[in-house]
Amino acid sequence: MTIATRLGRPSADDNISTDAIASEGATSTNPASTPHLAETPTPVKRRYAGLILAVVLITQLMIVLDSAIVNIALPDIGSQLHMTSTSLSWIVNAYTLAFGGLLMLGARAGDILSRRNTFLAGLTIFVAASLSGGVAQDQTLLLASRALQGVGAALLAPSALAILMSIYTTGRDRTRAIGYYTVVSASGAAIGLIAGGVLTSVASWRWVFFVNVPIGIVVLAIGARVLPRAKLQRGSVDAVGAVLVTLGMTSLVYGFIRAASDGWGDTGTLAAFVAGVVLLAAFVSIELRVAAPIMPLRLFADRDRAAAYVARLLLVAGSMGTFFFMSQYMQIVLGWSAWQSGLAFLPIPVCVFTASQLVSRVIAVRVSTKVIAAVGTLLSGIGLALMATLGAHSTYADMIPGLVIFGLGNGIAFVPLTTAGLSGVAPADTSVASGLVNVTQQLGGALGLAILVTVFSTAGSNPAVAPGSPAHAVDVFVNGADRGFLVAGGMLAVAFVLVALVMRRPSRAASAAAPVDGDGFDAAELMAIETATEALAEA
């Protein structure tokens, strides 16, 4: 029985109801949609619904695969292109900065230019960037390709889920569609870890980029045929705000990474920090004055919501070090192959998926958001602290407790922090608030990795190990990685304190008053599922 068959009939007749699809404008999980500017799709033939579902699921799989595969390939990329650990961090950050900084702009573009057009444009960019990344002979082209992949993903991701929500409008069918979307994300993270190791070991690191090309071309051809067309809508796009926040965050990240190599007193380092602060101040000024801000600052007025945004940023910032350092630790220090390292990471996505499902289906109805988020951030921090105890002669058995506890903590924390980030939001701001949740995740990851790489590079080595000896390079890496894990754990400790002291326990009345969409779905629950899958992608 196919997925499309199990989902049942999207409508009672041969076409999906135009009215049902149009109503999605008021309840979309698209990060920047507004009801009065929602696109008006044309009817979609029922036989295309299954193909549209396949297009969306395969697209999500590509995005998840891309994140997981690249982390495993970092040691090989660094060796062939002569990149240091500091410069390797840009392979991750070039993508996340472009993705996070332009995500809400991409969602807004979907509202105005139609989600079909935005989806196809984003996929085209993503595939072209994957091809150029695969053929790159130097780090300049590779980093430019990664940034371009982020641009494509920023256009692609919000439109993909919005299209899925518009096609499956009834409670039962939408629940199943979201379920498949979540399963693809969870399995995609695991597949990516294994595939990245196998491709890197058997073929080359270049295939972690090339793998997107044939898949993307097929999806592009099918999508152009079956995705619903829509009338273009008039509306404004806060392009200036999107550019300012992206450049501002990029400048701050560059400042931290430059500090790792040239020191905190370096003129270029100081200039980067000053430029970042000025650009972000200009961004805030623009958002206060523009008619349709890409990030309405009123969303930060509620203390629970603001605390959830900051805690989520810290959670992702601290978590990024796990994948960046551990993939290199397994291959550089322990001498494992890329595919062995990929398999070794499997406890994380499995635990994230298991814990997030338990929270969303069982625990959340019995325990307050504050308590769940506090437990999740605390467990994540404990997992990172355990990783900081690893040494040059540690075994996989020594790693498992940290990986499992870290994965469970992430799975527990992401859902309540997402729900808190959307709780109490006015209906007109629900989509924008959901976009802000994802933006804090992407930008928090980039900023966190930059800080942790700086800590890693300035940690030094054990004086007892003679410079130039075979053990010196290993000792330098282990000492730096352990210091990075400790600082990452400190970020999670701050997140725990923030949740415990700032967030309030929601009353039953407040919970009952949570906004519900037209099909009886809590908007926060829908976004919790989406953003939990984003967390799996980071694994």
- What are the pLDDT digits (tens) for 64-88? 777 667 878 888 898 899 888 778 8
Task: Verify that 284 and 313 share a domain, yes or no.
Answer: no
| Segments forming the whole domain that contains residue 263 | 239-291
**What letter represents residue 220's amino acid?**
L
Residue 36 backbone class (left: φ over 0; alpha: ψ -120 to 50; beta: rest):
alpha
Task: Verify that 248 and 223 share a domain, yes or no.
Answer: no
Cβ within 8 Å of residue 537, ≥6 positions away = 63, 64, 67, 68, 185, 188, 189
pTM: 0.72
CATH of the domain at 81: 1.20.1250.20
Task: Verify that 310 and 433 share a domain, yes or no.
Answer: yes
Pair of tokens at residue 415:
């859902």
> How confident is the model at residue 460, as a pLDDT?
62
Tell me, yes or no, whether 16 lies in a domain.
no
Q: Are 446 and 107 in contact (CB under 8 A)?
A: no
Tell me, yes or no, whether 528 lies in a domain.
no
Task: Verify that 312 and 429 share a domain, yes or no.
Answer: yes
Task: Verify that 75 and 171 share a domain, yes or no.
Answer: yes
- 239 or 526, higher pLDDT: 239
Task: Verify that 274 and 370 share a domain, yes or no.
Answer: no
Task: Verify that 162 and 100 share a domain, yes or no.
Answer: yes
Task: Verify that 284 and 314 share a domain, yes or no.
Answer: no
pLDDT for residue 532 is more than 50: no
Q: Are 380 and 493 in contact (CB under 8 A)?
A: no
Task: Verify that 337 and 195 share a domain, yes or no.
Answer: no
Question: What is the tens place of the pLDDT at every residue in 11-67?
Answer: 433 334 333 333 333 333 344 333 334 444 444 555 677 888 889 889 888 887 776
**Cα distances (angstroms) measured from residue 486 to each of 317, 388, 452, 492:** 13, 6, 10, 10
Pair of tokens at residue 197:
């190791």
User: Looking at the 3D structure of the chain, how many domains does it have?
Assistant: 3
How far, in Å, CA of 276 to CA of 251, rounded?
5
Percentage of residues in the chain having pLDDT higher than 90: 21
> How confident is the model at residue 408, as a pLDDT?
92
Task: Verify that 225 and 243 share a domain, yes or no.
Answer: no
Task: Verify that 150 and 265 share a domain, yes or no.
Answer: no
> How confident is the model at residue 83, as a pLDDT?
87
Tell me, yes or no, whether 516 lies in a domain.
no
Tell me, yes or no, whether 361 lies in a domain.
yes
Tell me, yes or no, whether 13 lies in a domain.
no
Tell me, yes or no, whether 304 lies in a domain.
yes
Task: Verify that 193 and 111 share a domain, yes or no.
Answer: yes
Tell me, yes or no, whether 330 lies in a domain.
yes
Considering 38-47, 156-165, 411-420, 466-475, the range whose residues carry the highest mean pLDDT is 411-420
Residue 222: band (very low, low, confident or very high) from pLDDT cuts 50, 70, 90: very high
Question: What is the tens place of the pLDDT at every residue in 251-274?
Answer: 888 888 788 777 788 898 899 999
Tell me, yes or no, whether 358 lies in a domain.
yes
